[in-house]
Structure formats: C-alpha cells, structure tokens
C-alpha cells in the first residue's frame, strides 16, 4: 500500500520510477547512484515489526536526507493546498536490482571463502536472497535461518535486534562457524562465534585495526556514538586511534564522518559505515569485509577482537506513549544526574527517546554490573510511572 501510494505521487509529479522489489536498504543507496536516479526510497521499518513501516529517503548521491531536509519537506507538504501535475511519469520494473547489488558487493571482494562455514540469519527480511548468494559465490558453505521474505514475521524473534536464537545456534550446533544476523532492511549486522557476540563496537574495533594496518584509516580516527562502549574508546586509544562520538543514529555517524573526511564509523547496534565502499550502513558489506579480514589474517573473530575491552552495559527500552516528554521529566533528569555523579569516571548514563518506536532508551555503563543494573531499573521505573 505504501509503495503504491508513493509511486502514484511520483508519477503524478511527472517523474519516472524504478521498482526494485524486495532488496536491502543499502542496495537502494548503492543502486540510486549506479542507475543515475534523482532519489532512492525504501519502504521499511528497519529493525522493527512491520506496523512501524515508513519511508527511508536517499538523495541522488546515495546519502540519507538530513533531519533539516526532512523537516523542510514535511513543512512544504503540510502547507500544500493542492497539487497540479503535468505530464505523468512511467513506472518500470527493475528486475535486475538484486543481481546488480550482488555484483556491486562482490566487486570489493578479492578473496575466496572456500571451506568456511557461515550461518546467516536474515530476519525474514530483505537480505533473504542476496546475502546467501554473495557468500555462496565466495565459496563459503551456507546455513540459513529466517531466510525468506515474510512481512508478518520480519524481525520477530530473529535478526540483529533479537539474537537469542542465533547465539544458541552458534554455541550448540555450529561450533566455530561465523554467524551473521541482519535486521529486516539489511543495514545492521551482529556476529557470533561459539556463542560469543560481536556487536557493532567489536566489529568497529576489528575494522579500525585492519584499516590502520593497511594505511587506510584517515586521521587514525573512527566515529562512534554516545552509546559506544567506553571499553572500545580506551582499546582504540591503546592502538593510537581516536574515537569521536556522534548522536545516536547512523545518519548522525555519517554526517560527522563526512564533515571530518573519515573512513569508518558505526553504532553498537550493528550499523557500520565503510565510506570507501558505501554511503550508508550495509550489513552484508560489513560481514563480507570482516570475513575477508579473517581470511587474510588467518584468525577468527575472537582473536581479531581480543584487544577490545568491554565495560558492562545495561540497555533498557521502556514503552511510553510520549517518550520525548518522558525524557524531559524533572524527576528523571534529577535522578540521572545524581546517579551519574555516583558513578564518576567509572561509568556513565545516557537516556533518550527512541527515534523509531514509542519507547525511552536507557543505557547505564560501569565496572559493577549489579550496581548499574539496579540504577537502570530505578530510572526505568520513573519512566513507567510518567
């Protein structure tokens, strides 16, 4: 319904439209540039259930629109009294979109993964065909889970946002096989090996050391977010690498990367931006590049990430009908400031309204897991009572 409505609007404005079917968000970013289109649009709820579907918009260069540009567009649309179109555009099926994206990813892969066993959790989403195809062509032995297109099941108990089953499979059934979990639209990835999780922070560490070693880490600097673990920051510093922090959101990460002219950035949630290859987070690209590093270094994920410290971190998502108002509540702010002083230099607190769901996100980080869990629950209770 959303796709049809949007296409009608595009055609009525006199523009043509290519419809690519079910492909990942990063594929739309890449193919918008490769096909010379004026914009790219994805109907997606990202890592959320289907009822949160909306539009992700890329400009002609494959970059997400800034928040300022989105606000301006929304203001203009709200102010419209009528729309008068000229000659209508035409719609074309882009049947080769998947194959073009697969070829795009493979063009960065000068290695062979023959003999490697890999489990792919595709979250019943947009990676269901392209991810297995890419790894098969690289020679890997593929096992799949949640690997079909199903809007009703997308992200439900699977994928990058729901990794309990993948962790269990990694530990019990597939031994040393690498496991990659994508989210519904494919711009995130979380990895596992032997039941051990490698989230965006640890993948960022692996990629940063590799790029520095090969002389491709611009300014020896990486962009993370306010949620990036303090252990990552300290571990990178030991390697002579600086971590800059952006606001939460891969768009904010990319904006800071572009402003500073940097090569690498990412979020703990699994959004990784490799600006040498892509203009948005790409879970498939990230997993392929990481496996290429494993192959080159003859090492597994645990070995490559061994130097990355990790502080205990409690993350809670608390449902609230007005999260923006809840995070401005005086009682919550006062309590958070008090707890922050108690933690001192050994920890930190971050509270924010979710940008994608009616929830408040609470993060507490520190050396004592029991202490930070109690603090997080205390803050969550205030949000629940708001």
Q: Which of 12, 29, 44, 46 is catalytic?
A: 46
CATH number assigned to the domain covering 200-304: 3.40.120.10
DSSP β-bridge partners for residue 186: none
Q: Is 107 tagged catalytic? A: no
Cα 204 to Cα 27, 163, 166, 195: the distances in Å are: 21, 19, 20, 19
Q: Which residues are CB-neighbours of 167 under 8 A, at least 6 positions away?
A: 192, 195, 197
> Does CATH place domain 99-197 in 2.60.120.10?
no
Tokens representing residue 331 in the block: 């009682």
pLDDT at res. 172: 86
Question: Matching CATH topology for 2-98 and 313-385?
Answer: no
Q: What is the CA radius of gyration of the chain?
A: 21
- Among candidate residues 227, 221, 225, the one with its CA nearest the CA of residue 260: 221
CATH number assigned to the domain covering 313-385: 3.30.310.50
pLDDT at res. 344: 86
Decide: residue 117, CB within 10 A, 0-12 exposed, 13-18 middle, 19+ buried. Answer: middle
Ranges of each domain in the chain: 2-98, 99-197, 200-304, 313-385
User: pTM of the prediction?
Assistant: 0.86
Decide: residue 263, CB within 10 A, 0-12 exposed, 13-18 middle, 19+ buried. Answer: buried
**Which one of 2.40.160.20, 3.40.80.10, 3.40.50.2020, 3.40.120.10 gives the CATH number of domain 2-98?**
3.40.120.10
Tokens representing residue 199 in the block: 């989230």
pLDDT at res. 83: 63
Q: Can you tell me whether residue 353 is helix, strand or coil? A: strand
Residues 23, 258: Cα–Cα separation, whole Å: 26
In order along the chain (386 residues), what is the average pLDDT of each group of 10 residues? 91 93 96 97 93 93 93 87 74 95 97 95 97 98 94 94 92 88 97 95 98 97 94 96 95 96 97 96 98 96 95 93 94 94 88 90 92 95 92
Sheet holding 242-246, edge to edge: 242-246, 221-225, 264-266, 272-274
pLDDT at res. 84: 60
pLDDT at res. 301: 96
């Amino acid at each position: 319904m959303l796709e049809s409505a949007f296409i009608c609007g595009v055609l009525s404005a006199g523009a043509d439209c290519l419809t690519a079917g079910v492909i990942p968000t990063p594929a739309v970013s890449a193919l918008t540039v490769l096909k010379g289109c004026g914009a790219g649009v994805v109907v997606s709820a990202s890592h959320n259930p289907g009822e949160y579907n909306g539009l992700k918009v890329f400009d002609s260069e494959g970059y997400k629109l800034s928040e300022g540009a989105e606000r301006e567009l929304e203001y203009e649309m709200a102010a419209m009294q009528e729309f008068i179109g000229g000659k209508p555009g035409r719609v074309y099926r882009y049947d080769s979109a998947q194959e073009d994206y697969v070829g795009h990813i493979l063009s960065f892969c000068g290695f062979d993964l023959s003999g490697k066993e890999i489990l792919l959790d595709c979250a019943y989403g947009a990676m269901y065909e392209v991810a297995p195809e890419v790894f098969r062509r690289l020679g890997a032995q593929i096992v799949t889970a949640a690997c079909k297109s199903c809007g009703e099941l997308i992200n439900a108990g699977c994928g990058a946002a729901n990794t309990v089953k993948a962790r269990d499979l990694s530990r019990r059934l597939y031994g040393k096989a690498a496991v990659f979990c994508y989210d519904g639209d494919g711009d995130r990835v979380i990895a596992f090996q032997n039941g051990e999780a490698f989230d965006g922070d640890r993948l960022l560490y692996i990629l940063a050391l590799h790029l520095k070693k090969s002389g491709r880490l611009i300014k020896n600097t990486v962009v993370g977010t306010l949620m990036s673990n303090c252990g990552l920051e300290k571990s990178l510093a030991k390697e002579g690498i600086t971590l800059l922090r952006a606001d939460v959101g891969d768009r904010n990460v990319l904006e800071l990367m572009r402003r500073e002219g940097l090569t690498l950035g990412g979020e703990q949630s699994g959004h990784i931006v490799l600006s040498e290859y892509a203009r948005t987070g790409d879970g498939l690209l990230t997993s392929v590049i990481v496996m290429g590093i494993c192959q080159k270094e003859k090492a597994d994920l645990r070995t490559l990430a061994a130097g990355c410290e990790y502080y205990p971190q409690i993350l809670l998502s608390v449902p609230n009908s007005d999260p923006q108002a809840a995070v401005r509540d005086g009682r919550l702010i006062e309590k958070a400031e008090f707890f922050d002083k108690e933690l001192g230099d050994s920890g930190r607190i971050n509270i924010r309204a979710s940008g994608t769901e009616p929830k408040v996100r609470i993060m507490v980080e520190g050396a004592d897991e029991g202490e930070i869990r109690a603090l997080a629950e205390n803050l969550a209770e205030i949000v629940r009572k708001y």
